[in-house]
Amino acid sequence: MNVLLLSMPDSFEHMPSIVIRMPNGALTSLAGNIDPHHKVAVADLVLVQHQVRETVERLVREVSPDVVGLSVMTFQRKTAKKIIDLVRQIKPNVRVAVGGYDPSLAADAYTDNSSGVVDFIIRGEGEITFR
């Protein structure tokens, strides 16, 4: 199975710039815990804030994921939904899983049949769920 893990390009305006340059710990931990017979790609979209669409399009075509996972905080929800819709335009049958604070606390926002609908909401530690 091919897995593509994406972190959101949005950053909190009051966050120190050194923190923004650090890789998303949740996604890198998740990637390291997925069974080794799966192919895993991780993309930190904060590093390509001005080329998000192009980067996501390229990654979906290159990786051809069976599952796309996104880590989302509440202030990133709008962006996450746009990315989910873009991924589904390119690969309609892909499974989408979201985790993080926002999907854990506001699951209805991701299952309401509007934009950005997901297949799985991961609450708690995703390392166990993705095994």
Model confidence over 9-26: pLDDT tens digits?
876 655 555 545 556 667
What pLDDT is stored for residue 114 in this prediction?
76
Q: Answer yes or no: is pLDDT of 51 > 70.
A: yes
Reduced to 3 states (helix: H, G, I; strand: E, B; else coil), residue 40 is: strand
Taking each helix axis from N to C end, the angle separating 52-63 and 77-90, rounded to the nearest 10 degrees, works out to 40
β-pair partners for 42: 5
Tokens of 10: 């949005």
Q: Could you tell me if residue 72 is left (phi over 0), alpha (psi between -120 and 50 degrees) or otherwise beta?
A: beta
What pLDDT is stored for residue 17 in this prediction?
53
* Domains observed in the chain: 2-129 (3.40.50.2300)
The more confident residue out of 100 and 127 is: 100
The pLDDT tens digits for 70-122 are 999 899 999 999 999 999 999 999 999 999 989 999 999 988 877 788 999 99
- Angle in degrees, CA 44, 45, 47, rounded to 5: 85
What pLDDT is stored for residue 9 in this prediction?
83
Reduced to 3 states (helix: H, G, I; strand: E, B; else coil), residue 67 is: strand
The more confident residue out of 30 and 82 is: 82
For the beta sheet containing 39-44, the strands, ordered from the edge strand earlier in sequence to the opposite edge, are 39-44, 2-7, 67-71, 95-99, 120-122
The average pLDDT across 49-73 equals 95
What is the pTM (predicted TM-score) of this model? 0.86
What pLDDT is stored for residue 97 in this prediction?
94
